[in-house]
A and B are shown apart, each in its own frame.
Chain A
Amino acid sequence: MRELLYRLKDRYHFGTPTFQRDDLCFVTVKRSELRAILTELRDVEGFTHLTLLTAVDWIEEQQFQLTYMINNREANLTLALRVMLDREDATGDTIHDLWPTAATYQRELREMFGINFPGSPRVDEEFILEGWTDLPPYRRDFDTLAYSQQTYHDRPGRETHDPKTHMQKVLYADYPKGAK
């Protein structure tokens, strides 16, 4: 794996790779070079299997991380390419022509993260959700609990007590708390 990255590093810009295991490596690549790297890895280096394509929302850094995980099934190596996208108006490059199955992943990302992949088949069609009107749900700023409580209704009548405050109320309510 190291040797492979070493071979490629002259032609492409790689971030510092993380060798999570002997057979698993994460590395950040430039968005503009992603397609070329993927094509080369697929056609020359034997990384023919697209294991998964997903996104991570780093909202603090205002970025989406796209993770393209590709696998060389002969050598049993897995390489995960990270591509960082701006969170505002996020758009990725479709790779459905390299792997037709990527179209499904891209549809999901479009729906769940709001990352667009222009040119990907049926990317704008509803995939999992139906009639969704709120923020894309997998974004970090979408609060599922708040949404759930306002949209659906919990069964009323539940109330809980914190042991500490309950004991204070029952046992030492008159004790002056602290010197403040």
Chain B
Amino acid sequence: MSLRDVLSPFTAWKHVINDPVTIKDPFSREASDRYRGFHQNDMDKCIGCGSCEEICQNAAIDMVPVEGQNAGPGDSGLRPMIDYGRCCWCALCVDVCMTGSLTMSNEYTWVDSDPDAFRFVPGVDAKSWDLEPKGYQREDERRLTGTVRAPMGETCPEDRIGNFDEIVDGFTAEQAIIEADRCVECGLCVATCPAHMDIPDYISKVRDGDYEGGLQLLYETNPFSQACGRICTHKCETTCAAMHEGDAIAIRWLKRSITDSVPRERYFDLIQKPDVPETGQSVAIIGAGPAGLTTAYDLARKGHQVVVFEALDKPGGMMRYGIPEYRLPYHVLDHEISVIESMGVEIRCNMRVGQEISMDQLKTAYDAVVLSIGLHQGRSTRVPGSEKAEAAIDLLRRITAGEEVPVPEQVAVIGGGNVAMDIARSMARLQKIKHGKVGVTVTALEELDRFLADKEEIEEALEEGCDIFPARGPQEILVDGDTVTGLRTWKVDAIFDAEGRFAPKYDEDDEMVHPAGMVVEAIGQMADISLLGAELTEQLEWNRGRIMIDADGQTSEPWLWAAGDAVSGPDVIHAVADGHRVAVSISRMLTAKREALQ
């Protein structure tokens, strides 16, 4: 033991003269900028998808309805309630939040003698830290769910323009799994889908590789899953939780990957008619489009006898005669319809109601009649010379039917919707085949970003060499004798007036002449209601040119229902939803009738 060892501890005394290290006011000490303190939630951004609840390993989060937040497209109306008797401040909820609405402040003090007080809905129950800008936020690059859509193979524009082959390759199994993996299964899309398909469930089937189970799930809500997997307007993808901070899930392509992955002959084993007794009641359906055939499918599966009357050569309606083959190949549609037929649905083609058979005959021969006639008449711009213009819908039908259509070197299309793109791209293909080059001009009233057509459609049309002139109003179709020579347009300044009514204003100085050997009008369609006959037309109630129906699709006549484009506007998935609704309503009526008889 040296003297040094005895003395050296005394050196600690030098600290006597040091400044104290004590924090004078520990109560108002702020935590660091990144501190994971109490939660904040931006009510405007939150969509109530429940991913935070899903990831919370403490079961600390409940999704609860709150005042002032209503359910709507892409918003469940629920908001997270956090139980601070459970929370561990790991911030996984912040990390996983699909919109970035959930954050954490750097507040950390909450004392209370009531143990039940530690629950609150951030953003709704006012707290002192609601507006605190500091606190934990996720770094931009870090996401716990994938943000980028799996790439989709497509035929390149040069290869696809000269033919009507399908453009989109569809996901490979690996791509489909990668894409399906991004889904957070919140189910917001289900509410948006008109047919309320079980989207998260079938996506999870893709993830698990159970395509057959997925197919059965699809057919529970949609007998046109193959078609919808290709040409659906996919409203669901506009409310996908993933779209807020990345690409929406490619729901449509995933649906397609299910239907493509199951061998065609397996369909008939997987989707079988349920074992129900024949009711002996029968239903006539006018029009073999998606609405009519969905109704037929549902009713046949309930044991009713169903006959579908189709005016044209082949069933499919607008899916066959309106949608070009490169988007929905005919063999897919044929197979789809054969599945429906396997339920015992009888389809009589070339039976135009009003000509081959009358409405009255149907009324007496069947227990119920469904009107699903679609929109097969093109609207006209009624500008000078418009009598020389072609209707897009007509032209598409003729192309499908294999009729000879005139293919001039220059074509002008009026309209900015999907039909306009369809006809433009179809004509472009025909031009390429006939003349070796494309000469299509598309003009529309709207600005490009407000076109009604899907973005991909526009992009693909541009890729294929169509010229698009947005904000051009048609003024005259120039005619030289019997032949069309071009289209004269003015620049559009505004489409609607101050009250929001349709009243386009033009800049007359900005005039353009689009030379064209053919002008196609694609500005909308209407239903051909001549089949109803004067008497029935008189009896029915109407609403702005459309047959008025109730929530179940029933018209003012007790035996007549209406469904599909003719009443809901042009959209396959809407038509399917209509079909289900009408089928349930008819079935209910038929059951009541049967029970009354017994």
Residues of A within 8 A of B (CB): 155, 157-164, 166-168, 170-172, 174-180
Contact = CB atoms under 8 A, between A and B. Distances in A.
A155 to B, nearest CB: 6
14 contacts: A155-B85, A162-B63, A163-B76, A164-B190, A166-B63, A166-B76, A170-B70, A175-B580, A176-B581, A176-B583, A178-B220, A179-B221, A179-B301, A179-B583
A160 to B, nearest CB: 4
B187 A162 contact: yes
A99 B77 CA distance: 61
A157 B63 CA distance: 13
A178 B63 contact: no
Interface of B: 48-50, 53, 61-65, 70-72, 76-78, 83, 85, 115-116, 119, 186-188, 190-191, 196, 200, 220-221, 223, 274, 294, 297-298, 301, 551, 577, 580-581, 583-584
Given A163-B186, A167-B77, A179-B583, A172 B191 contact: yes
Contacts of A162: 50, 63, 187
Given A166-B76, A167-B71, A158 B83 contact: yes
A169 to B, nearest CB: 9
B220 A163 contact: no
Contacts of A174: 551
B196, B220, B301 — most chain A CB neighbours (10 Å): B196
B581 A163 contact: no
A177 B221 CA distance: 7
A178 B157 CA distance: 39
A178 B583 CA distance: 10
Contact of A167 (B83, B190, B221, B577): B190
Contact of B65 (A164, A166, A172, A180): A166
B63 A179 contact: no
Contacts of B221: 177-179
A170 B188 CA distance: 13
A176 B196 CA distance: 9
B64 A159 contact: yes
Given A162-B50, A174-B551, 12 more contacts: A157-B119, A158-B119, A162-B63, A163-B187, A166-B65, A167-B190, A167-B191, A168-B191, A171-B72, A177-B196, A179-B221, A179-B583
Nearest to A156: B116
Given A155-B115, A178-B220, A167 B188 contact: yes
A178 B187 contact: no
Contacts of A167: 71, 76-77, 187-188, 190-191
A163 B76 CA distance: 6
A160 B82 CA distance: 11
B186 A175 contact: no
A161, A163, A175 — most chain B CB neighbours (10 Å): A163
B116 A179 contact: no
Contacts of A163: 48-50, 63, 76, 78, 186-188
A125 B12 CA distance: 48
Contact of B53 (A157, A160, A180): A160
Nearest to A167: B191
Kindly list the 6 A-B residue pairs having the minimum CB-CB distance in the complex, ordered from nearest: A164-B187, A163-B76, A176-B584, A160-B62, A179-B298, A167-B191
Contacts of A170: 70-71, 77
A161 B64 contact: yes
A177 to B, nearest CB: 7
Contact of A157 (B65, B116, B580): B116
B186 A155 contact: no
A12 to B, nearest CB: 40
Contacts of A159: 62, 64
Nearest to B48: A163
A175 B53 CA distance: 27
A178 to B, nearest CB: 4
Nearest to A174: B551
A165 to B, nearest CB: 8
A138 B293 CA distance: 56
B77 A166 contact: yes
Contacts of B77: 166-167, 170
A158 B63 CA distance: 10
A143 to B, nearest CB: 15
A105 B580 CA distance: 63
Given A167-B71, A170-B71, A180 B220 contact: yes
A161 B191 contact: no
Contact of B196 (A158, A160, A168): A168
Contacts of A164: 76, 186-188, 190-191, 200
A157, A160, A164, A175 — most chain B CB neighbours (10 Å): A164
A132 B83 CA distance: 30
Given A166-B76, A179-B583, A160 B63 contact: yes
A171 B187 contact: no
Given A159-B62, A159-B64, A161-B63, A172 B187 contact: no
A161 B65 contact: yes
A166 B71 contact: yes
A155 B191 contact: no
Contacts of B83: 158
A159, A160, A168, A172 — most chain B CB neighbours (10 Å): A160
A166 B190 CA distance: 11
A160 B50 CA distance: 10
Contacts of A155: 85, 115-116
A159 B220 CA distance: 30
Nearest to A176: B584
Given A157-B116, A159-B62, A160-B64, A175 B581 contact: yes
Contacts of B53: 160
A119 B119 CA distance: 52
A172 B580 CA distance: 14
A176 B116 contact: no
